[in-house]
Amino acid sequence: MTRTEVARYLGKSVATVRRAEGVHLHPRRDHRGVHHFAPAEVRALAQAIRVGEVRLTHIKFHQQAETPTKSSDEHVVQQLRNEFLQLRTLAAVAVDLLFDVAPPRLLGELDPDLLEGLLALGDPGGDGSATSLEEL
Protein backbone atom coordinates (compact mmCIF):
# COMPACT_ATOMS: atom_id res chain seq x y z
CA MET A 1 0.00 0.00 0.00
CA THR A 2 1.27 3.51 -0.82
CA ARG A 3 0.90 6.53 1.45
CA THR A 4 -2.14 7.69 -0.44
CA GLU A 5 -3.78 4.29 -0.18
CA VAL A 6 -3.04 4.12 3.54
CA ALA A 7 -4.45 7.62 4.02
CA ARG A 8 -7.68 6.66 2.24
CA TYR A 9 -7.95 3.38 4.16
CA LEU A 10 -7.49 5.13 7.53
CA GLY A 11 -9.57 8.17 6.58
CA LYS A 12 -6.62 10.43 7.36
CA SER A 13 -4.45 12.81 5.37
CA VAL A 14 -1.16 11.86 3.75
CA ALA A 15 0.53 14.23 6.22
CA THR A 16 -0.93 12.25 9.11
CA VAL A 17 0.33 9.03 7.58
CA ARG A 18 3.81 10.56 7.27
CA ARG A 19 3.75 11.55 10.95
CA ALA A 20 2.84 7.94 11.82
CA GLU A 21 5.87 6.60 9.95
CA GLY A 22 8.53 5.25 12.23
CA VAL A 23 6.07 5.25 15.14
CA HIS A 24 3.02 3.24 14.13
CA LEU A 25 3.91 2.43 10.52
CA HIS A 26 7.19 1.14 9.13
CA PRO A 27 7.24 1.43 5.36
CA ARG A 28 9.86 0.13 2.97
CA ARG A 29 10.99 2.15 -0.03
CA ASP A 30 11.21 0.78 -3.52
CA HIS A 31 13.86 1.65 -6.11
CA ARG A 32 11.88 4.79 -7.11
CA GLY A 33 11.67 6.04 -3.51
CA VAL A 34 7.98 5.21 -3.13
CA HIS A 35 7.02 4.14 0.37
CA HIS A 36 5.11 0.87 0.66
CA PHE A 37 3.28 -0.22 3.79
CA ALA A 38 2.48 -3.75 4.86
CA PRO A 39 -1.31 -4.21 4.66
CA ALA A 40 -1.32 -6.21 7.91
CA GLU A 41 0.40 -3.35 9.75
CA VAL A 42 -2.07 -0.83 8.31
CA ARG A 43 -5.05 -3.01 9.33
CA ALA A 44 -3.61 -3.36 12.85
CA LEU A 45 -3.22 0.41 13.10
CA ALA A 46 -6.78 0.93 11.85
CA GLN A 47 -8.05 -1.47 14.54
CA ALA A 48 -6.02 0.34 17.23
CA ILE A 49 -7.50 3.65 16.09
CA ARG A 50 -11.05 2.23 16.17
CA VAL A 51 -10.73 0.93 19.72
CA GLY A 52 -9.10 4.15 20.90
CA GLU A 53 -5.62 2.78 21.56
CA VAL A 54 -4.03 5.20 19.08
CA ARG A 55 -4.85 8.79 18.11
CA LEU A 56 -3.09 10.10 15.04
CA THR A 57 -4.60 13.58 15.00
CA HIS A 58 -3.50 14.72 18.44
CA ILE A 59 -0.91 17.45 17.95
CA LYS A 60 0.39 19.64 20.74
CA PHE A 61 1.67 23.10 19.91
CA HIS A 62 3.87 25.03 22.27
CA GLN A 63 1.75 27.73 23.82
CA GLN A 64 3.08 31.06 24.96
CA ALA A 65 1.92 32.60 28.18
CA GLU A 66 -0.97 34.96 27.53
CA THR A 67 0.61 37.81 29.44
CA PRO A 68 4.24 37.89 30.43
CA THR A 69 4.81 38.01 34.14
CA LYS A 70 7.05 40.53 35.80
CA SER A 71 9.45 37.80 36.84
CA SER A 72 9.77 36.51 33.27
CA ASP A 73 10.33 40.07 32.03
CA GLU A 74 13.03 40.55 34.63
CA HIS A 75 14.59 37.25 33.58
CA VAL A 76 14.71 38.37 29.93
CA VAL A 77 16.19 41.72 30.90
CA GLN A 78 18.85 39.98 32.99
CA GLN A 79 19.71 37.66 30.11
CA LEU A 80 20.04 40.64 27.78
CA ARG A 81 22.28 42.43 30.28
CA ASN A 82 24.51 39.37 30.59
CA GLU A 83 24.77 39.02 26.82
CA PHE A 84 25.52 42.74 26.48
CA LEU A 85 28.29 42.51 29.07
CA GLN A 86 29.81 39.51 27.30
CA LEU A 87 29.71 41.34 23.96
CA ARG A 88 31.16 44.48 25.51
CA THR A 89 34.01 42.44 27.01
CA LEU A 90 34.74 40.86 23.63
CA ALA A 91 34.62 44.27 21.97
CA ALA A 92 37.03 45.66 24.56
CA VAL A 93 39.47 42.83 23.83
CA ALA A 94 39.17 43.51 20.09
CA VAL A 95 39.78 47.24 20.62
CA ASP A 96 42.78 46.53 22.82
CA LEU A 97 44.20 44.30 20.10
CA LEU A 98 43.55 47.02 17.53
CA PHE A 99 45.40 49.61 19.60
CA ASP A 100 48.27 47.17 20.17
CA VAL A 101 48.86 46.35 16.52
CA ALA A 102 47.65 49.36 14.51
CA PRO A 103 50.22 52.04 13.76
CA PRO A 104 49.40 55.25 15.66
CA ARG A 105 49.29 57.26 12.41
CA LEU A 106 46.44 55.07 11.13
CA LEU A 107 44.54 55.45 14.38
CA GLY A 108 44.95 59.22 14.05
CA GLU A 109 43.30 59.03 10.61
CA LEU A 110 40.14 57.44 12.02
CA ASP A 111 37.00 59.52 12.36
CA PRO A 112 37.24 61.22 15.80
CA ASP A 113 33.75 60.07 16.83
CA LEU A 114 34.56 56.48 15.85
CA LEU A 115 37.83 56.62 17.76
CA GLU A 116 36.07 58.01 20.86
CA GLY A 117 33.58 55.15 20.61
CA LEU A 118 36.39 52.61 20.32
CA LEU A 119 38.14 54.14 23.29
CA ALA A 120 34.92 53.92 25.31
CA LEU A 121 34.64 50.23 24.40
CA GLY A 122 38.22 49.74 25.51
CA ASP A 123 37.26 51.18 28.90
CA PRO A 124 34.50 48.79 30.07
CA GLY A 125 34.77 49.96 33.65
CA GLY A 126 34.16 53.55 32.59
CA ASP A 127 36.91 54.67 34.95
CA GLY A 128 38.82 56.71 32.39
CA SER A 129 41.74 54.31 32.21
CA ALA A 130 41.43 53.89 28.43
CA THR A 131 43.89 55.61 26.17
CA SER A 132 42.94 59.14 25.19
CA LEU A 133 43.16 60.68 21.74
CA GLU A 134 45.93 62.97 22.91
CA GLU A 135 48.07 59.98 23.90
CA LEU A 136 47.97 58.71 20.32
Helix (H, G, I), strand (E, B) or coil at 15: helix
The per-residue pLDDT for 65 is 52
Strands 35-36 and 28-29, by their bridges, are antiparallel
Instruction: Say whether pLDDT at 2 is over 90.
Output: yes
Instruction: Say whether pLDDT at 126 is over 80.
Output: no
Q: What is the DSSP string of 27-52?
A: -EE-TTS-EE--HHHHHHHHHHHHTT
Tell me the C-alpha distance between 80 and 134, whole Å.
35
Comparing 101 with 83, the larger pLDDT belongs to 83
Instruction: Show the CA angle centred on residue 129, arms to residues 93 and 99, nearest 5°.
Output: 40
Comparing 46 with 89, the larger pLDDT belongs to 46
* Segment 54-58 long-range contacts (CB within 8 Å, at least 24 positions apart): 54/24, 56/10, 56/12, 56/16, 56/19, 56/20, 56/24, 57/12, 57/16
Segment 67-88 shows an average pLDDT of 77
The per-residue pLDDT for 122 is 59
Least trusted range by pLDDT, from 64-73, 98-107, 109-118: 64-73
